[in-house]
Every structure is written in C-alpha cells, then in structure tokens.
Amino acid sequence: MISANAKLSIRWISLECIQIKEFQQRYVEKLLEYIQLLLDYPNKYPGLLFVVPSDTHTGMFALLDGHHKFCAYIMTGRKYTLCVVIEEPLSDSSREVERMAVDHVGGGSSPSPRIMEAT
C-alpha cells in the first residue's frame, strides 16, 4: 500500500540499480510479449516499473511491480528504464536510525549518476 504522504516521481534508472527482493511465479507468455514489444519498438517503453529506495543498498531501488518488463529489458539489451519511484516518509524512529548511520559513516552520500529525473 502506498501512503497518502508518499512522494512519487518518474525517473530514468539504470537496470543495474534495481534489486529483485521477492520471488513470485512468473509467466513466460507475458515475458515473451514484452520482449517482442521491445524488439518491435526499440525507441519506446512498454510501461513503467514501480520501485522504492533500497533498504539495504544506498543508491539502489527495490522492484515492487514490473518484473516481466524488467527481465525483458535485460534480455533485449536495454540499459535504462522509466520507473515510478515511491518514497514513503520516514517515521520518527527511522529518521533517528538514519541520522545515526550518517553520523557514524561521516556524512551523506552523493547521488548516483545512473539516476536521472525524467523530462
């Protein structure tokens, strides 16, 4: 579920910055459909992937929806894809943990050059 306070943005994200963190049954027919679309329309995209910032790797994103498209992008040699990035507001306890982690590491991190705002 996406909260009403979530920040949503559309970004170009490198496929190498997207994590698969869950396993569900996939359907070969759907994958083949997306592969064919990408081959038939090499300068177009068949839809958006939905991602959230990774809770384990800074600068990466966990895939929520769009697994068939994600695999089809890889199999057709694409490097980037359009994603809806869902950023949920941090709870007070999460903010404190994040602040302590940044203090421990000695500062924040710079944004990844492989992520671009969609125009």
pLDDT digits (tens, 9 = 90+) for 34-73: 999 999 999 998 999 999 999 999 999 999 999 999 999 9
Question: Which residues are paired to 11 by β-bridges?
Answer: 83, 117
Going from N- to C-terminal start, the domains of the chain cover 7-117
Hey, which CATH number is domain 7-117, 3.90.1150.10, 3.30.70.260, 3.90.1530.10, 3.40.50.300? 3.90.1530.10
For residue 21, give every residue at least 6 positions away whose Cβ sits within 8 Å of its Cβ, in sequence order, or none: 62, 63
State pLDDT tens for residues 65-108. 999 999 999 999 999 999 999 999 976 445 455 555 555 555 54
**pTM passes above 0.85:** no
How many Å apart are CA 63 and CA 48, to the nearest integer? 11
Q: What percentage of the chain carries pLDDT values higher than 90? A: 65
